[in-house]
Chains A and B, each alone.
Chain A
């Protein structure tokens, strides 16, 4: 990654560098997926407990020995370990995520239904968080030390608020006490307000802390000074120079934001009784539905790898100085 990668297509050398970069990212991503699948495959076999029991509904189900044997045969759990491992890898590589233990339907079908509602929630929350963080950052840099201290306090507290508590407080306030919004989330706009707010506020707190630091530094930097010397107004300096820098940490943190939104979705979807990836992951974890857990883990690992690749590109676009690094 020592060459500038985004000048792409201008010369064979640069195009070669871009291709190497892309190949490296794809190889790294495949390695991550293989490692996740392998770790879960061997992890579950190192821990006492019979997967066949989970298929039959957990240890409490008192399944007969024949039923357990049948489940083992159905799910290929009676073959030698290495046969199971390689056939599992082969199935995953061909896009077959297996059959959910608890739902008895193909994992890929379940995921296909669950991704859209979670995606709607996460994207809306991300947009709201970005907007909130930017507004607070811009307002506080223009209002002196006191405004800055106030914004900092606000950000620390909102970043420290756990999703589950914020969700409960919002429900108590806006659903129970005021009755303005439903406590259960649907895809209707009113049903999305509370879940989105729950996910967005802590994220905005984190993003705001970094954005404000960067914005303040950019405001004191030589290029801001020279822009002012050229006679640009404070608003001009902000719009044309500083804001670009405030966006950088937001991009760099996108992988982390993805994690925060996904973790938040587990909690938020459970509290607001909203169907989605997070809530299904939780029930899969509780039921020890390994194919389902593997499916969600592989899906989000793949999403993470893609997001990191794009944030890499976006960072270089936003700050040309990064291109050489």
Chain B
């Protein structure tokens, strides 16, 4: 750390380097922390989380009882102990609440005044954060599994919606209408993701085991389909051609730079693809247990030097090295299946929600206090006192 600081001071290093090193360290030391709690509002499982990118302060959560809660993540109390407060809730008593399970919530990428939620009650609602009333409501024919707004789009405000219907719908928030459909899949659309690099690139994953990459400017069809065998026909059986997984594909995630795409499937595999070419990079993550029948929300770290993937895996969150495929650690804390996790890029914190109704905050462990470090000195005060007698062994003398 000192060497990094010194190098930074002397201008030898790129400024990014220190940041990367520190954030990597922090990610590696993620664990459950007593000082961080999240209010228990949901009475049922939590399906989806989203942290807004503007301030990184507010987090949305959607539960399987249709409730949507907004949390304030920022700790202004100057104390290490902090419970993320629920600042507002669209509860069951609300007139506008989703009737069934909320599958996806997402902040409007450019402003916290609006967010979009989609639910199994076949609707997608565009909410006004101030009034907590839907400004717009889209009705669909089938359950809505997922939707996504492009985080970088400036020229359009399209929401891609994946429903029970094999056609991907594009809804325009400007006009409030469904302007386009993308045909090609043969199964339910479990996940849709816009590329964080190009505002016209869209990836969709479906139960037909395929992942398609679309250019929304081109109406005729998808750009290409991800093929797990990279076009090697000899390895694939005839019906497995052009499939990304051998089961349903229920998770999609672009890396922060948009160069790579991660997919998860019910064949308990996770694959990393080159998003430009659709090539399978053949990184082996091992078995990633995945029993979800719906979409799986997983996330990728941002700003670390080797990037990490956080994938819900049973009742734990698995942390993999993105390019190495190495299982770094399992974050165990939930008592039931984990459905979603969200990475906070500014503080290197991870929030995960599961069927046990808990939202857990995984916070980096602070540096050991015995290391002389100016930067951490300020934070250290609390930890020294935190050495708990409970951590000591209590062997009684009669065992000798």
A and B from one complex: no
A-side residues, CB < 8 A to B, are none
B-side residues, CB < 8 A to A, are none
